A and B are shown apart, each in its own frame.
Chain A
Amino acid sequence: MRPVDGEAEIPRVTPAMLRRADTMCRRRLAREYAGAKRNANKSGDARFSVSNRLYEDARLAQTELGPPRPEAFVDPTDLEPEQRALYRAATRGYLATFGDRSGVSADLGWRTHLDDVGVDLVADIGIAIELPDGGRELRPLQLGSRHPASPLLDDTQVRFALVRTEEWAPDQLSIIAADVIERETEHRAPDIPAARADAKSWITERVALVQKLAIDGRARAGADCMGCPFIAGCDQFRS
């Protein structure tokens, strides 16, 4: 682990790393695993502006028990006109999908530490809602742009969510994934604890693979070079 700001940085694992570790450039994988982005080239992150805003406002819309409050969705005037149009459409889609579902939002943060494998699982897994009957509901959102062959909710997301929500939803979890632009939803109600045990086992296995491939660390030029924040010093591009 590399010390950052006086503290040891904990290795981080994302859903994308679990899905793609086998085919990723191992140099990029190693650096993303080590959490080295603080010293990396800055990536363009404007593509997340609308979804980040929607997530924030959807959480604010249910800070008190009840259905989402429409007034919590505030027109993001600091964004580009086309982004604002997307935000408004996404808000409509969100309220059409979840507008009558009462509950109060919970803050699950971005990371969960796994002691046994020594890594943080890092990702926003969705809007976490505590239902009036005590049930737990997770709402991962998408805003269009899906490849025709991509599912709305894949097994990696579900496993990741099951492990990250263990404390918050120990006995029951309902996942309602929604593409609020395409107006599609997918509902899963995993059989806990069997599904959670399977998720832990799978993630432990995949994290071991990530660690093994990260130790290799060899660079490979290709698709992962696009958007890679670790180009500086890469032996594939020394002139």
Chain B
Amino acid sequence: MSKLLGDIVSITPSNYDDFVQCERRFLNRHVLGLPPSDPGVGNETGLLVHDMLRLIHSRGSCGDAAHVVDVLAGHGADNEHVRQLVERHARRCPSANMTSAAHEHTLARFHKLPPPMFMATARIDAVWVHDGLLDARDYKTGHLGDEQHIADDPAAKVQVFVLEPAARRRGLRLRLRYEYLSADVVDDPYPWEPDLDDLSAIEEELRAAVERMRTNDDWRGVGDELCSRCAYRSICRDSTAPGEPSWPALVTSDHDGTPSR
């Protein structure tokens, strides 16, 4: 089964999170590249807000109300919900004190030794340099998840792993903050400032995960309550919530003329 993987395994926040939650989901989505068989919650608003925040900061300031209205209106996004999400961001945005910034920036870090090799990449929503910090933000437009501590989130570990060399080169402390834009979330989780021990442990954790991928023969699904929300619940061989996929299931004539699904 390890033949399914390339010589250098790609690790991202999203695929590592899937791998930790369910190896079969990781296989289905990231290795086999299967489209979801079951409808999920759409994320159109989230994608739109990420785009708007990038544009707002690249052309001006989120603190400039007229500029924000211009950008939102220019992209058909000037509605109450999006305005509220942007306003929530503006209250916590460090841009007034920053010395530099980057938005929607993809970073990469290669692990060679000890084997196995892997390439970690992560698209970071925003990175601000201010007050001796490399302050990375992950915008969240949904509800607060189970991870009360960012350090427990597999996706955060990958982000920190790829950000660390950039912080080290600049002599900055690294901070990762989950910035919840929804008014339903009163307080963000505490930002994470990983120390050297954390960083060393993360690299080893990722390396061990890739080693597990390389030796995995069955990619067994978790078969628990996670299945009910999984995008592959209808087709997964280990699903505890099987059903009919949303894929085409037209009644057609079989080879012998018998109608079949």
Taking Cβ atoms with an 8 Å cutoff, the residues of A that contact B are 41-50, 70-71, 80-83, 85-86, 89-90, 92-93, 95-96, 99, 143-145, 148, 180-181, 183, 221-223, 225-229, 231, 234, 236-237, 239
Contact = CB atoms under 8 A, between A and B. Distances in A.
B37 A85 contact: yes
Given A181-B35, A239-B112, A89 B245 contact: yes
A221 B37 contact: no
A180 B44 CA distance: 23
B34 A92 contact: no
6 contacts: A46-B33, A70-B254, A71-B255, A93-B247, A180-B248, A231-B8
Nearest to A51: B33
Contact of B108 (A46, A47, A226): A226
Contacts of A99: 252
Given A47-B33, A71-B255, A82-B28, A93 B248 contact: yes
A86 B29 CA distance: 12
Contacts, number: 120
Contact of B7 (A41, A50, A144, A181): A41
Given A81-B235, A144-B35, A227-B10, 6 more contacts: A85-B37, A85-B247, A86-B37, A92-B250, A181-B35, A181-B247
B156 to A, nearest CB: 19
Nearest to A25: B108
Nearest to B36: A144
B123 interface: yes
Contact of B6 (A42, A86, A144, A180): A42
B190 interface: no
B7 A80 contact: no
A44 B105 CA distance: 25
Nearest to B256: A71
A17 B132 CA distance: 40
Contacts of B119: 225-226, 228, 231
B236 interface: yes
A225 B110 contact: yes
A222 B166 CA distance: 12
B34 A86 contact: yes
Contact of A82 (B6, B47, B232, B254): B232
